[in-house]
Amino acid sequence: MPELPEVEVVRQSLNKKIKQKKVKKVIVRNRNLRFTIPFNFENFLKGKKIVKIDRFSKYLIFCLSNKSYCLLHLGMSGTVHLVLNNKRNLITNSSFYSSPILPKKHNHVEIIFESLKIVYNDPRRFGFFEIISNFNLLKKRFSHLGPEPFEVEFNLDYVFSFFKNKKKNIKNFLLDQNFVSGIGNIYASEILFLTKINPNMQVSLLKKNICRRIITNSKKVLLDAINKGGSSIRDFKNISGKTGNFQKNFKVYEREGLNCKRLNCRGIIKKKIISNRSTFFCNTCQK
């Protein structure tokens, strides 16, 4: 599943291509995604200008000219493709975990503009679209989620207070979207390695200086991943055909049995299943 950096790369790609463009037509070929696409979806978008593409956590937000919104969550296998009119695209994928070439079998939604269209393709159909009529409802839609790591609300007072008297381990907390939004399995492992914390550490035992390092390293890892175009675990490419490069910087993720990359550490990267998710860590420097 794409995490915050990959969704941000998609946002940046789409924003360059469809910002300030007017929707001419919408075609829904299959409404049966994770949630059924509303039957007024086509008319909701038709004739509206895309003011900008925004993002919160792992959600793409299409900000429309009538101050309404369309949300898109890519789920496990959703990809967004950009197709130019009267031009054969060699690379269409702006998204994650799929072929860069447009696979037509699972094209569920097309949003058509004057000179191009975007196509939503999703073999497993865990992604979804959602329409929201105003800003207050948009805020309410995300009210159950924690702040993003980049937001000022994700600070020492917030983190330390949240952890107080909690028995859950730190890895599970980093994956808990009610605590912090946008971090997934890949980056949780990388953040904990950088912070030198064992993934099983109970959060109530974490001192303030460790909490401060978690905050700092969450921002650092995610920003680095965004700047490197995300992590290409399979065939992630943006609409310029460039792959993400952050996977070349993995310190622990998918490095089971290899030597720790930390200077002067002789540890070995181990893999452990925590809450049904693969977790990677150094058996020496992550205490």
In 9-93, where do the E strands start and end?
Answer: 25-28, 50-56, 59-64, 69-73, 79-84
Residue 12 burial (C-beta neighbours within 10 Å; 0-12, 13-18, 19+)? middle
φ/ψ (deg, to 5) at 153: -70, -20
| Catalytic site residue from 2, 100, 149, 199 | 2
| Catalytic site residue from 55, 58, 228, 255 | 58
In sequence order, which residues have a C-beta less than 8 Å from that of residue 151 and are 6 or more positions away?
none
| Catalytic site residue from 24, 125, 166, 277 | 277
**Count of Cβ atoms closer than 10 Å to residue 131 Cβ:** 17
The encoded tokens of residue 32 equal 């049966």
3 is annotated as an active-site residue: yes
42 is annotated as an active-site residue: no
The encoded tokens of residue 164 equal 């107080």
Which of 39, 36, 29 has the alpha carbon at shortest distance from 106? 29
22 is annotated as an active-site residue: no
Give the separation between CA 75 and CA 136, rounded to whole angstroms.
Answer: 25
Cross-strand partners of 59? 56, 73
5 is annotated as an active-site residue: no
| Catalytic site residue from 3, 8, 148, 190 | 3
In sequence order, which residues have a C-beta less than 8 Å from that of residue 60 and are 6 or more positions away?
7, 10, 11, 14, 53, 54, 71, 72, 73, 74, 80
Give the separation between CA 200 and CA 221, rounded to whole angstroms.
Answer: 20
Residue with tokens 């609409």: 239
Positions marked catalytic: 2-3, 58, 277
